[in-house]
Amino acid sequence: MAFDPKPILAALPSLPGVYRFLSDKGDVLYVGKAIDLKRRVSSYFQKNDQSPRIRLMLTQVADIQTTVVRSEAEALILENNLIKALTPRYNILFRDDKSYAYLVLSGHAFPRLGYYRGALDKQHQYFGPFPSGYAVRESIQLLQRVFKLRTCEDSVFDNRSRPCLLFQIKRCSGPCVDEISQEDYRRDVHHATQFLQGKANDLIADLDEKMRHAAAAWQFEEAAAFRDQIQALAKVQEKQFVSSNMSETDADIVACAVDQGMVCVNLVMIRGGRHVGDKSIFPSHGEDYDAPSALEAFLVQHYLGRTIPPVIICNGSDALGVLAELLSAQAERKVAVVTHPIGERRVWLEMALKNATLAISQRLSLESTQVGRLQALQVALQLPDTAQRIECFDISHTMGEATVASCVVYDRLGMQPKEYRHYNITGITPGDDYAAMRQVLERRYSKIAAGEGVAPDVILIDGGKGQIGVAVEVIEEVGLQGALLVGVAKGETRKPGLEQLVVPSRGETLQLPRDSVALHLIQTIRDEAHRFAITGHRARRAKARVSSSLEEIPGIGAKRRQKLLTRFGGLQGVRAASLDDLCQVEGINRALAEIIYNALH
């Protein structure tokens, strides 16, 4: 029976709130906010010019739920929380699973300079956020060069007995072994903080004055140190980031562009008066959204519950006053949302908008290429037009040691790294690739056949008839339906382009032309599975070797092994340690140190 919204609409109040459209299974299809619930929700069923996306959604609606709130601001918060928690199918979603990167100066007696993601702790000092981890690491390298702050973990810092390599190459002042006093180190931390806060010119003037005072007092070594810092800072200013004369220390520029049904938001971050990078963000379900609506959705989803800069410059509408008030309340200070910038601010916004437009053009070009490759593969393998999900498996080991299987996923016209999986293979004869392939396929597809997870359209097996034979048996045993098994076997000379595709369900072997775009897609997926398998294998092998090398030494139990690894920063450090260094570890006497030294050399 068709859904009749009239009884629900008649009972809706003319109050602010949030509404939810539900399917017959109880799934939330869409979440929206309204100043007037009755008028807003009724409009969905009164208009005849709805977009195709909205018309399709309305055919699936089986119920409407509403929540009344006190104000538009509360509706905005509740809508955002529900969208993030429920990820409705028809809402625009700006996914950002990773928290943003920060540069942190720890609250220790000798503060540590480091890279950080996660919840902020008040005992440390944070700078950012930065749009990428690369921007943070570049800043750390620059600050090391100028201020020589420590970057080592506390476990290493607390157990050093001699300066590390960074001290030798003048990237650290050696506080771990008292090469610098706490007072002088604190001075360097203060200077680094000044630089990160955008006060580089003040800092250079301060250092110049100190250099002159030191020289006048005939303290030439100290004066030379100040001179070197000034020169290093000058070089950093020349090379680092696009400079800005904006009066604000921190600001974000947010530009939204829409083209051919694709939405892109370009986020530019200004920190300490410097452009520290930008990123282009593509939402899910962005079709039929105009730029102002998409921008408002981004601002709400991105900033609520996050660190907010004092100024946000965007190409949105004037109807963002409620959001500005909400962000100001969250930040406990005024947050200005500027929609009509002038001067340099306008230049920054125009640059961000241009980058968003270019990102859309690049994405459309890439997708058209990917569409062509996928369509060619569909033709070559006689797949239906709807087939798009491909999973590929590979096995990696070193003479049977630390066997790891990889599964990589191609879907939605691209590789999907978040869906990749490593499988540690155990309980088989070392080096038995057939048994390893059987185990990974059983573990992967027994769950999917039972309804847990998304079934692939194509399963690629990197191997010949032996591996594909095992795969056929496993797929039949677990009862997986609808997936086409394809073995990717290397040609006689094992050269790229000569691969043979084994399709057991049809009893045929294909060899596509070397210039076939379908073959290029298969090669891309196969090579990614190979790379991912090797990555997992090397990590597992390294971990196993670290433990086993020390475990095999008589007299080294779990506690002593942990103390050795902590003191020297890993097995390589233990190998490089002298007898005297080993003797300094708690619980290691001279005789045991000799045993360890001889076992590792």
Regarding beta strands 390-398 and 458-462, do their DSSP bridges make them parallel or antiparallel, or are they unpaired? parallel
Which of the residue ranges 5-9, 153-157, 509-513 would you say has the lowest mean pLDDT? 153-157
Mean pLDDT score across all residues of the chain:
85
Q: How confident is the model at residue 242 (pLDDT cuts 50, 70, 90)?
A: very low
Tell me the CA distances in angstroms from 93 to 35, 67, 78, 132, 297, one per residue in order: 22, 21, 15, 20, 8
Is residue 352 in some structural domain? yes
Residues 558 and 519 in one domain: no
d(CA 346, CA 343): 5
Query: Residues 65, 200: one domain?
Result: no
- As a whole number of angstroms, the distance between CA 139 and CA 503 comes to 52
Instruction: Indicate the range of 168-182, 209-223, 479-493 predicted with least confidence.
Output: 209-223
- Comparing 317 with 45, the larger pLDDT belongs to 45
Of the three residues 217, 242, 267, the one that is the final residue of a domain is 242
Name the domain boundary from 538, 570, 589: 538
The model's confidence at residue 223, banded by pLDDT at 50, 70 and 90, is: confident
Check residues 391 and 303 and name the one with the higher pLDDT.
Answer: 391
Task: Tell whether the model's pLDDT for residue 152 goes beyond 70.
Answer: yes
Domain harbouring 40, CATH code: 3.40.1440.10
Tokens of 398: 């070193």
**Cα–Cα distance between 299 and 391 in angstroms, integer?**
35
Residues 50 and 76 in one domain: yes
Task: Let me know if residue 95 belongs to a domain.
Answer: no
The rounded distance, in Å, linking the Cα atoms of 304 and 80 is: 8
Identify the CATH number of the domain in which residue 596 sits.
Answer: 1.10.150.20
- Number of alpha carbons in the 13 Å side-chain half-sphere of residue 105: 23
Pair (506, 473) in one structural domain: yes
Together in a domain, 437 and 337: no
Residue among 56, 83, 19 at smallest CA distance from 287? 56
Same domain, 423 and 335: no
Residue 511 lies in a domain: yes
Neighbours of 515 (CB within 10 A): 8
First to last CA, the chain: 80
Say whether both 74 and 211 belong to one domain.
no
**Whether residue 524 is found in the same domain as residue 561:** no
The answer on pLDDT for 200 being more than 70 is no
pLDDT band at 96 (very low <50, low <70, confident <90, very high): low
474 lies in the same domain as 517:
yes
Q: What is d(CA 176, CA 185) in angstroms, rounded to the nearest whole number?
A: 11
Instruction: Tell me: do 13 and 124 sit in the same domain.
Output: no
For 343, the domain range is 251-361
For residue 550, the model assigns a pLDDT of: 74
Domain count, the chain: 5
Is position 368 within any domain?
A: no
Domain contains 572: yes
Backbone φ and ψ for 330, nearest 5 degrees, come out as -65, -40
Query: What percent of the chain shows pLDDT beyond 70?
Result: 93
Q: Are residues 333 and 431 in the same domain?
A: no
Per DSSP, what are the bridge partners of residue 116?
Answer: 102
Tell me: the pLDDT tens digits for 116-148? 887 778 888 888 777 777 778 877 887 887 788
Q: Are residue 217 and residue 82 in the same domain, yes or no? A: no
296-305 pLDDT, tens digit each: 999 998 888 7
H helices within 414-516, ranges in order? Answer: 433-449, 465-478
Question: Considering the domain boundaries, does residue 205 fall inside one?
Answer: yes
**Does the residue 318 lie in any domain?**
yes
CA distance 390 to 483: 9
Is 409 a residue whose pLDDT tops 80? yes
Q: What is the CATH number of the domain that holds 442?
A: 3.30.420.340
8 Å CB contact between 283 and 94: yes
Which of 184, 210, 242 is where one domain is finished? 242
Residue 241: the pLDDT is 40
> How far apart (Å, rounded) are the C-alpha atoms in residues 410 and 16?
43
343 located within any domain: yes
